[in-house]
Amino acid sequence: MKKSMIYAGLALLTLAACNKNPKVEPQPVDFSQYAVRVEPVITRATETNFEKGDQIGLSIVRAAGDHATNAPLTYDGTAFSGSLNWYDEGAEESTLKAYYPYKEGEALPTRFTVQSDQSQGTTSSDFVSAVKENVLPTANAVAMVFKHQLTRLVVTIQNNSGAAIESVQFQEIIPVANIGADLTAKVDENAQWQTITAFADGDKYYAIVPGQTVAPVVVVTAAGKELSQQLAEATLEPGKQYSISVVVNKEEIKVVLAGEIENWTDGGELTGDGPAFEEKLEEGYFTYDGVKYNVVKMKDGKWWMAQNLAYLPEGYTPATDLTAVTAGVFAPIQVNAGHTAAEFTTDPAVIASNGYLYQAEVALGLKVGDLTSEADAKALEGAQGICPKGWHVPTGSDIINLVGKAVSPLENNPDAPYYDGSNGSIVKLNEDGFNMDAFGAISIQDNTKTNGTFMGWASAYPDKISSGMFCGSTFASVTYNESGNAESGVKNLQFFGFMPMTNKATEAQYTCNGTKVSYRIAAPLRCVRN
């Protein structure tokens, strides 16, 4: 019995020992009690981090259905959070999509527009986003890398003008971007251009714009005067910063080398596309490469230069030698002292009033020898050439619709405003401020010639240059080294241009009609606005 009692006691002790550590089944964690928190990795706003109070929009996308769409989360200095909690299925992954700045609504934004006036700061125009896949609910903050989806332009100013810089602007910028499902931004090509005013911070000016292929115009306003610089066309890529360094002088601005890049990915330097250009149509002039030119709106409805171009492209020296048949640019001509012939002149006053004489390829923005086919010549119709941005070398249409008469195959236009019933009238043109005259030219018949001749002086009118030609951009004809054989190579190309003639008895008879101008002839240039 005693032995039985001992066994019974051991049994009870064993049972008690077993009951002391009972098996516990794990309970699933309810993650819906945890708030969603996002820890950002970003350089934005202050260029170092988000600021307290900033808001993002967050969407949580699940296979079973979206858990949240565009929920606002607010930054507390460490992470973004709000009233949004996780879903309770801890083993189900999701994709998180977040963007800044937050826009209230029931869905993620599909469009974003930067501010046209960013002079008070660029923060509200800086669209950034982050996407993270395969995320499980967690009690910890989810780290997300935010990326700039737009482009930043930075202008560094060296002010030599003696006047305070009032503003820096970028013209012809599309401000609207379409936002994709992955929260990347792509410029809306159908949106209207706008002018973007930059934010000033010391000698630097900042603007944020959608990525786009543009040739932006930088406009600097100092003491009420606008100075502009057309930049080279560039493709501005999202997330990249492009630096522009500008020297502001009294009458112009110049683009020079750029400065350092910080925070954003370096997109490179944007440099000037041609000389400084300031357009004042309402005041009847523009300034191009530091030279002021009068312009006039004629009865054809277009703006024309009212004087000849005197711009010297980089790398050229005006020739004063008739054997320099590929010089590209020649000095103007005048009647010699003895009134017996024409001669070159380098008198600054004559250059200012008469401009330089350009061979067609240079006028059209090329180099002598670049044109080697009819197709190449035809492609140049309406080319900007060496004209300022927004202006072009006159086309055959520009010419015939202004003066009414031209050689075949152009058809006369009797309704042209400066056609007098027989010819284009210089008197009628000049009554409206066109200031046309015969300025002469250097005749070089074709590219086989090794010597040019002066065009414009005649013994019957010894006191003046009484004829000439002007450059144009519409193809007129071609001849080949072997007649009719394109394979033999181009001998000569012709473009339609103006031909003023003042070898008449009275001014009322002076004419200005359209004509064919061989491409090696050096002639004046009048640009017309697009």
Please say whether the beta carbons of 457 and 341 come within 8 A.
yes
Q: From the centroid of its chain, how far is CA 34?
A: 50
Last residue of a domain, one of 227, 250, 280: 280
Q: What is the pLDDT of residues 141-155, one digit of tens each?
A: 998 988 899 999 998
For the chain, how many structural domains are there in total?
A: 3
In a domain, 395, yes or no: yes
Indicate whether 134 and 194 sit together in one domain: no
Greater pLDDT, 308 or 255: 308
Which are the contacts of 23, defined by CB distance < 8 A and separation ≥ 6?
Answer: none
Indicate whether 421 and 457 sit together in one domain: yes
Indicate whether 135 and 204 sit together in one domain: no
pLDDT in the model for residue 22 = 53
Last residue of a domain, one of 99, 126, 148: 148
* 409 upstream amide cis, omega within 30 of 0: yes
Amino acid at 452: G
In a domain, 333, yes or no: yes
Question: Which residues of 223-282 form beta strands (DSSP E)?
Answer: 225-230, 234-235, 240-248, 253-256, 265-269, 277-280
How many C-beta atoms surround the C-beta of residue 9 within 10 A? 10
68: its two tokens:
């949240």
Indicate whether 250 and 367 sit together in one domain: no
Indicate whether 203 and 322 sit together in one domain: no
In a domain, 124, yes or no: yes
Indicate whether 508 and 359 sit together in one domain: yes
In a domain, 2, yes or no: no
In a domain, 6, yes or no: no
Indicate whether 390 and 444 sit together in one domain: yes
Range of the domain at 191: 151-280
Q: What is the pLDDT of residues 277-329, one digit of tens each?
A: 888 898 999 999 889 999 999 999 999 999 999 999 988 999 999 999 999 99
In a domain, 385, yes or no: yes
Indicate whether 343 and 438 sit together in one domain: yes
Alpha helices (H) along 417-456? 426-431
CA distance 176 to 186: 9
Indicate whether 248 and 379 sit together in one domain: no
In a domain, 431, yes or no: yes
CA distance 506 to 84: 89
Average pLDDT over all residues of the chain: 87
Task: Give the CATH number, domain containing residue 245.
Answer: 2.60.40.2630
Which pairs with CB-CB distance under 8 Å and at least 24 residues apart come from 178-181?
178/110, 178/111, 179/99, 179/108, 179/109, 179/110, 179/111, 179/112, 179/127, 179/149, 181/108
- Pick from 16-25, 39-48, 173-182, 245-254: least confident: 16-25
Alpha helices (H) along 327-465? 348-354, 360-363, 374-378, 396-403, 426-431
Indicate whether 81 and 170 sit together in one domain: no
Indicate whether 315 and 256 sit together in one domain: no
> Which helix (DSSP H) or strand (DSSP E) does residue 168 occupy?
strand 165-173
The pLDDT of 478-505, averaged and rounded, is 95
pLDDT in the model for residue 225 = 75
The pLDDT of 181-206, averaged and rounded, is 93
Q: How many helices (H) and strands (E) does the chain have?
A: 6, 39
CA distance 84 to 34: 9
CA distance 380 to 383: 5
Please say whether the beta carbons of 360 and 517 come within 8 A.
yes
Q: Is it the case that residue 472 has pLDDT exceeding 70? A: yes
- Which residue from 109, 107, 141, 153 is spatially nearest to 128, judged by alpha carbons? 109
In a domain, 36, yes or no: yes
Last residue of a domain, one of 148, 166, 189: 148
Indicate whether 385 and 513 sit together in one domain: yes
